[in-house]
């Protein structure tokens, strides 16, 4: 039953990517990527995306639901900062990310494009706080100066 619940919740998470329309109707629709940690290699995002990881021991953890709601409610600032969301709510799956970062219960991790961990939090954070953390990163400062 636990595995079925985890699969259903993961399917809902992965199917819950938020689409944001561009000003020009001919431009492609930009989407906030929400990925399952079991199918992710962080090296794929190196220098391209800023991973924001959400860990919990169960998909039913209310902090996971709250965190995903906070992220989905305001995707624009995350899209502007090249963020990809990675979710791991199944400790039994022993994803490489879980083994590497060793979360205890709920944990939010913000990483830079360089692959370095910039922030670990034991509670949900809103998009404004995450954006401020990203904006303090040296690479993000360069992007801001360059107009990206």
Domain ranges, ordered by start, for the chain: 34-146
Taking domain 34-146, whether its CATH number is 1.10.274.50 is answered by no
pLDDT in tens, 66-94: 999 999 999 999 999 999 999 999 999 98
Rounded mean pLDDT of 105-119?
97
The mean pLDDT value for 7-31 works out to 50
The band of 26, judged by pLDDT with boundaries at 50, 70 and 90, is low
pLDDT value of position 29? 65
DSSP string covering 20-81, please? E--SSTTSPPEE-EEEEGGG--GGGGTTT-EEEEEE-S-TT-HHHHHHHHHHHH-HHHHHHT
Is 95 a residue whose pLDDT tops 80? Answer: yes
Rounded percentage of the chain residues whose pLDDT exceeds 70: 80
């Amino acid at each position: 039953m636990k595995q079925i619940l985890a699969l259903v919740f993961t399917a809902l998470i992965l199917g819950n990517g938020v689409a944001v329309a561009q000003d020009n109707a001919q431009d492609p629709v930009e989407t906030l990527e929400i990925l399952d940690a079991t199918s992710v290699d962080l090296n794929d995002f190196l220098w391209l995306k800023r991973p924001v990881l959400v860990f919990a021991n169960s998909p039913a953890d209310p902090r996971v639901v709250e965190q995903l709601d906070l992220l989905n409610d305001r995707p624009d600032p995350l899209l502007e900062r090249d963020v990809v969301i990675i979710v791991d709510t199944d400790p039994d799956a022993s994803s490489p990310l879980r083994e590497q970062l060793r979360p205890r219960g709920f944990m939010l991790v913000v990483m830079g494009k360089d692959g370095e961990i910039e922030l670990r939090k034991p509670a949900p954070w809103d998009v404004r706080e995450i954006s401020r953390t990203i904006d303090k990163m040296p690479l993000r400062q360069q992007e801001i100066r360059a107009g990206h």
